[in-house]
Structure 1
Amino acid sequence: MASGSKQTPDEPEASSSAPPLPSETAPPAPNPPTATPPSNLRSLDFETTATDLPTSLTKRTEAGTPEGQGGDEGPRRERTGARSSKDSLSSIERRRRMMGRVSLAILFLAAIAEGLYMGRPWEGDELKEKKMTLETAPSSRWGRTKARFWDFFGVFSEPQWPELLPPPLPPPHQKPYTLLLSLEDLLVWSTWDRQHGWRTAKRPGVDYFLAYLSQFFEIVIFTTDPSYTAAPIVEKLDPYNMFVTYKLFREATRVVDGVAVKDLSYLNRPLEKVIILDAHPEHVKTQPQNAVIMKPWKGERGDKGLIAMIPFLESIGIYKPPDVRPILTAYGGKDIPVEYAKKEAELRAKHVVEWKEKHKHGAGLGGFTLSSLFGGTSNNTSPIPPTYLEQKRAEAQQLYKEEQAYIASHKDEFERLLEEDRKAMAREMSGSLWGALGKMTSAQEQQQAQGQTGAQAQAQAQGQLMPVQGKS
């Protein structure tokens, strides 16, 4: 230590290596800065950087905005793994869903059971109700199931009544055979034009055909036309209801493959005694063995189709075969009038030969006459007697003439009765809706007729005749 310096007792001994103290006292050194925790609060003047954005939004920005979405759309919510309220069902909803599944299962099992039940074997009463036999009914389980299933829709395809005709009359009054006749293209032909509207022509010989054959057959008009169009035509054919026993229209047909078919099994008549004449084979395809298919008549003048069929049908009514179906089958596909004429000629020739053989040697003593006693010549030849068919035919023709004479002599009485029926029907219809509509239509027609008459009179007065428009 140098001699020039004094050492105070309170002052520690300075190290030789310590720097020399400054002459003036230095201010205290500031405390080192401490790290301030970041705050979530931002001031009003800040700039958002990538580091300040949430991680999900940063990833979305880096991946790019999906196509079709705006760039300034808010951030998506992150999945937290919590179950959504949509996935959680209440007890009522769970019970409802369970009941729906149980009901569907029961319905499915019931459908299977019903299908198995509908495939059961046929029963006698069921076949009778369906107009079928064991030979014609489906024999497989699938066929029986399908037939019974389509019966549910029978209301749209079956006739309106299970029996189309009432029960037959007692024997003295009921004709032994039933003759079904189509209407359009067989008895009549209808055409339409803009000048006259609908017009209907009667086939040549239709009046004689109906009147004469009504002695042998129960005549029934069976047509596929609806009743509101066919009934007025039938009334013109038989105005006094003397020859046509019954009338069946479209409502009595059966629909098969979209075609109206005349199913004779619904007729309530024995099929061995039923004959149907039609011009369209598709209408009688259920019982073709009972059908006679004739060429459609299209209004040709001088047609003799109906008249030519009379001898054949007449012979059936005279000879009364137990079953007409074998006879109709034998003539199937042939010209019946021509073939039957040949057959009748052969029977006539055979009858003549048998008669000549029987009277070839004369009548012996039976040939003795009063003229031969006085030297006159005796004629051993006698006219050939008619056949049984010819005798019955002559009787039927005579009966037809008497019937026509009776109708002609009582025509006024028949017309009076018809007029009374029309008036009674008009009185019954007057209080109904249809009667009111009919009155309204008649009033409108009268007003139109009066207006047209007035216009025509006015035109005639002016020297200009106006044509009056008629009803088409």
Structure 2
Amino acid sequence: FDKCACIKRCSAYYSQSSSGSSGEKSQQSGWSGRNAWKLGFITLSCSGLFGFGFALATWGPPKKDDNGIEIEDKFSRMPIIWGYICRAWSSLLDFNQSIKDPVSEKLLPDPVQPPYYQPPYTLVMEMTDVLVHPDWKFRTGWRFKKRPALELFLQQLSPHYEVVVFTNESAMTGGPVLAQMDPQGQFIHFRLFREATRYKEGRHIKDLSCLNRDLSRVVLVDWDSTAAQLHPRNSLIIKRWDGDESDKELIELAAFLRMIAMGSVNEVRLVLDTNGNSMILLPFFREEHGKLSGNSSPNENMKPKKSPIQTVLPPNIFHFLGRAKI
């Protein structure tokens, strides 16, 4: 009898402990396992409601003047809740657009007045693959290689052009490179980075209308025609430099731009309208330079064929070609 009583007590004890553990498991399974999504859904819902309420409280109320009186806008006559929602949505759209637009409508200060010297033309240039090329090596990592004749190019053009480097690189990347390129700031007058571009359809576009300069005297030199799509008449698209040490395009480009400056061209777009492509303009420039240098035969000089570029340039502009050194 004692054995039977002991067995019954033990079985009752284990049954109670097993029932208690099963109850705890059932309570835990309510927020774990397959039911864990409930907790996540509640958390996300609360976060969304909090964010929606914060947006309405921040951007929903109408603006007030200095006296604390509400300024009437296009949402003022709507129901209060709907007006708050529309006003907050409009503010979010304006904020998104402000990120895509340049940081300022006037990226450059006003031109200086006499007695200070203001170069008559403005030269806007891309940095990457035009002036320098990013190069990676195992020992040094990423470094920027200078294009051949870069110093000569800047020295020859800085008296005639206000040189502006307008790059798609960020200020953190491009700033140190330009500081090494022109540490004293003698040749590069202004530096504009990605924050000054206009973001459109996933591309950073250079809007020359924000430069605060006369576009009839602005030349944009770039390898990417998409970045210059807003002002194709001001653009001179050159070959993208891939790091070739035998490249001489900067020398030819410097002579061509000096020709424009020395010829006192009033409308550079008429020159670039012929075809804003260095593959057309620079070979023509070399041909004219060769004629004036005496490299062509007398019969060819007696009956020269007029190029479309000659029809838009002043007649005296080609006198500079005889003195240009390539």
TM-score > 0.5 by shorter chain: yes
Contact 2:232/2:276 (8 A) holds in 1: no
On the 8 A contact 1:309/1:336 being kept in 2, the answer is no
The change in CA–CA distance for 1:312 and 1:150 in structure 2 (over 3 A counts) is farther
Contact 1:205–1:307 (Cα < 8 Å) also in 2: yes
Match of 1:335 in 2: 280
Normalising by structure 2, we get a TM-score of 0.62
CA RMSD of the aligned region, Å? Answer: 3.4
Q: Which residue matches 1:106?
A: 79
2:252 pairs with 1:308: yes
* Aligned counterpart for 1:182 among listed residues 114, 120, 126: 126
The whole-number CA distance in structure 2 between the counterparts of 1:234 and 1:184 is 11
Q: Specify whether residues 273 and 105 from structure 1 end up closer, same or farther in structure 2 by C-alpha distance, changes over 3 A only.
A: closer
Does residue 156 (structure 1) correspond to residue 65 (structure 2)? The answer is no
Task: Look up the match of 1:389.
Answer: 320
> Superposed, which structure 2 residues align to 1:230-245 within 5 Å?
230-245=174-189
Q: TM-score, normalised by structure 1?
A: 0.43
Shift of 1:150: 5.8
Q: CA deviation at 1:392?
A: 6.7
- The match for 1:256 among 194, 200, 222 is 200
**Structure 1 position 158, deviation (Å):** 0.9
From the CA coordinates, give the structure whose radius of gyration is larger: 1
The alignment status of 1:166 with 2:109, answered yes or no, reads yes
CA distance in 2, matches of 1:389, 1:166: 32
Over 3 Å counting, the alpha-carbon distance change for 1:107 and 1:345 in structure 2 is farther
1-structure distance, mates of 2:80, 2:202: 32
C-alpha distance in structure 1 between counterparts of 2:113 and 2:78, whole Å: 58
Counterpart of 1:275 in structure 2 is 219
For residues 320 and 107 of structure 1, do their structure 2 counterparts lie closer, same or farther at Cα, with a shift above 3 Å needed? farther
Ranges in structure 2 where 5+ consecutive residues have no aligned partner: 1-75, 303-317
Structure 1 residue 345: deviation in Å? 4.7
Q: Per the alignment, do residues 337 and 286 of structure 1 end up closer, same or farther by CA in structure 2, a change over 3 Å counting? A: same
**For residue 36 of structure 2, what is the aligned residue in structure 1?**
none
Structure 1, residues 208-234: CA drift from partner, whole Å, max 9, x if none? 001111121011111110111111111
Q: Residues of 1 paired with 2:267 and 2:77: CA distance?
A: 56
Deviation by residue 1:373-421 (Cα, 9 ceiling, x = unmatched): xxxxxxxxxxxxxx74157758xx9xxxxxxxxxxxxxxxxxxxxxxxx
Which one has more relative contact order, counting CA pairs under 8 Å at least 6 apart? 2
The Cα of 1:197 is off from its aligned counterpart by 1.2
Rounded to whole Å, the distance in 2 between the matches of 1:173 and 1:393 is 24
Change (3 A) 1:306 1:108: same
2:242 aligned residue (298, 302, 323): 298
Per-residue CA deviations over 1:416-444 (Å, capped at 9, x if unaligned) read xxxxxxxxxxxxxxxxxxxxxxxxxxxxx
Q: CA, structure 1 residues 108+184, in 2 after alignment: closer, same or farther (shift >3 Å)?
A: same
Aligned pairs, number: 227
Over 3 Å counting, the alpha-carbon distance change for 1:244 and 1:105 in structure 2 is: closer
Task: Report the secondary structure of 1:282's partner residue.
Answer: coil
Is the CA contact 1:157–1:255 (under 8 Å) kept in the aligned structure 2? yes
Quick one: distance in 2 between partners of 1:327 and 1:311?
Answer: 15
**Contact 1:318 1:392 (8 Å CA) reproduced:** no
- Equivalent AA in structure 1 for residue 113 of structure 2: P
Aligned 1:448-463 pairs, distance under 5 A: none
CA change 1:197–1:389 in 2 (3 A) is: same
Give the stretch that moved more between structures: 333-342 or 178-187: 333-342
